Structure 1
């Protein structure tokens, strides 16, 4: 199947099965399936009974596991009150738990005064192997909270009783499991935001690609990535931006609604034309 392309098929009905039958496998499956909150994506995929939601996602997870390479990973966005079900399903398929991460944002808004304002969405990270996976820790470092840490070393005594000096990494501290990125709310993001009701920020998705995509000996990202529930195509956009900077990521995105495939193709086409003109 051709990579670096958007497909317009039903992942639940045939697309994932087609990939499995062709023997395709991926280094990373990075996806944001419907949360079952009743959002209008052009179909009823986000408005299922609990039993249907659980059965549908169990089949999705099983098929995605079959599409992972031996050292591949799944990064799966969810919602707080249903993520526990999905986590158990991943355990039961034989995937290996790595971490539950949090996408934290502070520019959301509250729809009610009867509960705390929502400021996060969880995403699960599971791997195919319990001993081998990709996580590029140095690629996703974040700034130190205080610049003072960069000025002087910190001395400590190691297990052999030797005095050692720890000096801060100039690229920043290691990222934790809380990923802070604003939502696409407000005028600042008008150029990026589409009509899709659950679009993720490019900054967040790019950082996830950098964290979990394999690299070649020259330090370029060169893995294969699948998003079977691609929405407005943000994964493809982020991969193409990285590819135009010298990387070589093979990505495949699929979306059941033709409207969003057209939006996705338009975003990537505009990106390619802009970069070509430059």
Structure 2
């Protein structure tokens, strides 16, 4: 089967990824949110593996992803604190270059037990194919300064040569740190966006990750190729289509094994494509 961009396919990624490798397809960014192995119901047993099987399955899938990365590409892999260390080690073993373990922090998390702290974060790993060159559009994902008062007075400092320099705030905001704060899709505020998918990520979070890591052309428009092997309810595709309606030219592709979520994703994509800019 020939896979085309800007589509979601109902297929097991363990079958689709080797086909892409054989076809010589390469991506600038693989951004994905795979099953965490927390026994959630996605319509199959993909989240209910024994530890040894979980490790072997992810070794195989990460190996495929590594082959699909272009020379300056990155991989962003969401996980959970239970198992993220295994994933990080696998990426090191593949020869990928560690950039950061970022944290998705949310204050509206909750706990079903009083025996452990409430869950308020999920980590997502960032590794690059090259240890010399990668994409990170820092100015595209700046955040507001915490205080505007201190910015009214110039800050002077000495550089490595002992020269006095003047620091002024960037009009786009402060450089983003490695803690990315967005609320989960809970409560009335998220009703319009939320689907039945048990691990759906917020559009604003995925949108900003794409802005940070998608290559741009000489005119400043995003123009990369992005893959999500675990497409779920389609948030990655929705975000790419939102950006493309603004004049960007992102080519994306998604794989999802469950028909229910493929249908949900396609419905969301259709709504975006039919909405006027």
Query: Which interval holds the TM-score relative to the shorter structure?
Result: over 0.9
Contact 1:149–1:168 (CA<8 Å) still a contact in 2? Answer: no
Mapped pair 1:194 → 2:195: yes
Which ranges in structure 2 are unaligned for 5 or more consecutive residues? none
Give the secondary structure class of the aligned counterpart of 1:129: coil
1:223-259 per-residue CA deviation (whole Å, 9 max, x = no partner) reads: 0000000100000000000000010000001100011
The answer to whether the 8 A contact 1:150-1:170 is kept is no
Shift of 1:160: 3.1
Q: TM-score, normalised by structure 1?
A: 0.97
Counterpart CA distance in 1 for 2:150 and 2:142 is 15
Q: How does 1:97-108 map to 2 (within 5 A)?
A: 97-108=98-109
Which residue in 1 is equivalent to 2:12? 10
Q: Does 1:20 align with 2:18?
A: no
**RMSD between aligned residues:** 0.8
Matched length: 275
Give the superposition deviation at 1:117: 0.5
Structure 1 residue 164: deviation in Å?
1.5
* Per-residue deviation, 1:26: 0.1
Report deviation, 1:162: 2.5
Mapping 1:13-162, distance limit 5 Å? 14-162=15-163
Q: Deviations over 1:71-119 (max 9, x none)?
A: 0010000000100001001111111111111000000111110011010
SS across alignment from 1:147? coil
Large movers: runs of 4+ above 3 Å: none
What SS class does the counterpart of residue 125 from structure 1 fall into? Answer: strand
The alpha carbon displacement at 1:182 in A equals: 0.4
TM superposition shift of 1:149: 3.4
- Output the CA distance in 2 between the equivalents of 1:79 and 1:162: 45
- TM (normalized to structure 2)? 0.98
Q: How far apart, in 2, do the equivalents of 1:211 and 1:204 lie?
A: 11
